[in-house]
Amino acid sequence: MNSPWTNIRVIAKRELAGYFAAPVAYVFIVIFLLLSGFFTFMVSGFFDRGEATLTAFFVWHPWLYLFLVPAVGMRLWSEERRLGTMEFLLTLPITTWQAIVGKFLASWIFLGVALVLTFPLMLTVNHLGNPDNGVIFGAYIGSFLMAGSYLAVSCFTSAITRNQVVSFILSVVICLFLILAGWPPVTNFLAGISPNSTWLVDLVTSFSVMTHFEGFQRGVLDTRDLLFFLSLIGFSLFATAVVVRGIRE
């Protein structure tokens, strides 16, 4: 009998090969790279600042991932259900968790590849000046964790419906909440309507990816921020397991 990690690796390899076997994966990567460069150098006024930094690059990531990551994750389980291959997958000698983790890791690796391919931006700012590469590295870690959080949410929404469009919309709505909960206009609004309830503002912002991503953008690897993203991933995958087990039974 294969070990759990062997089964996970086999599933992840199968899923990852499926991504790169279709042109959609390459289209996604190209779009991500083009949008990253456009927002960094054109929209954010990079050249007007006179400072070699990737702050403008990372500040757009919560919004770029809002649509791009659900587009990657929407097919994880919806496609299996639509094609009727989910029943076959779940009859294999693997556990539900192994299937979920394998499919999730494959998609997360794919997103990681897209993120790594933005290295020309890092080379550019190093050519133009002397940025703090430690800060940039920390921001990359935070961005990768945030992409994994969005993906885990998409994994859950993909499991509850066989329609990829519905899965995509649900993922966008949930991830949008995770952004807006810590977006300054929203927090300022909450503070304005309830000046004496700072605990409410703190509670809402604690659920925001924006709040926890800010530390990474400054190069600070705070344990609380790490736990937030890992907990969000873990909870979303747990919810996915509950749904998939219900289908399996």
pLDDT in tens, 178-189: 888 877 777 777
Give the torsion through C-alpha atoms of 168, 183, 145, 74, to 10 deg.
0
pLDDT of 192 above 90: no
84 confidence band (pLDDT: 50, 70, 90):
low
DSSP 75: T
142 confidence band (pLDDT: 50, 70, 90):
very high
- pTM (predicted TM-score): 0.87
d(CA 100, CA 96): 6
166 or 39, which is more confident: 166
| Torsion region of 219: left, alpha or beta (phi above 0 gives left; psi -120 to 50 gives alpha) | left
Residue 210 contacts residue 182 (beta carbons within 8 Å): yes
pLDDT of 1 above 60: no
Which residue type occupies 185? P
How high is the pLDDT of residue 22? 78
199 confidence band (pLDDT: 50, 70, 90):
low
Render pLDDT for 4-41 as a digit per residue (tens, 0 to 9): 788 888 888 888 888 888 788 888 899 989 988 888 87
Which residue type occupies 169? I
How high is the pLDDT of residue 246? 77
d(CA 30, CA 117): 10
pLDDT of 239 above 90: yes
DSSP 38: H
Instruction: Count how many domains the chain has.
Output: 1
How high is the pLDDT of residue 90? 64
d(CA 49, CA 113): 29
Task: Tell me the CA end-to-end span of the chain in Å, nearest whole number.
Answer: 23
pLDDT of 47 above 80: no
Domain hosting 27: range is 4-248
DSSP output for 110-165: HHHHHHHTTHHHHHHHHHHS---HHHHHHHHHHHHHHHHHHHHHHHHHHHS-S-HH
For tokens 């991830």, what's the residue? 175
CB neighbours (10 Å) of residue 108? 22
How high is the pLDDT of residue 91? 66
How high is the pLDDT of residue 111? 94
Q: Mean of the pLDDT values across residues 233-241?
A: 93
Highest average pLDDT, of 31-40, 73-82, 103-112, comes from 103-112
Radius of gyration, CA atoms only, the chain: 19
How high is the pLDDT of residue 114? 92
d(CA 193, CA 200): 11
For tokens 């919810």, what's the residue? 239
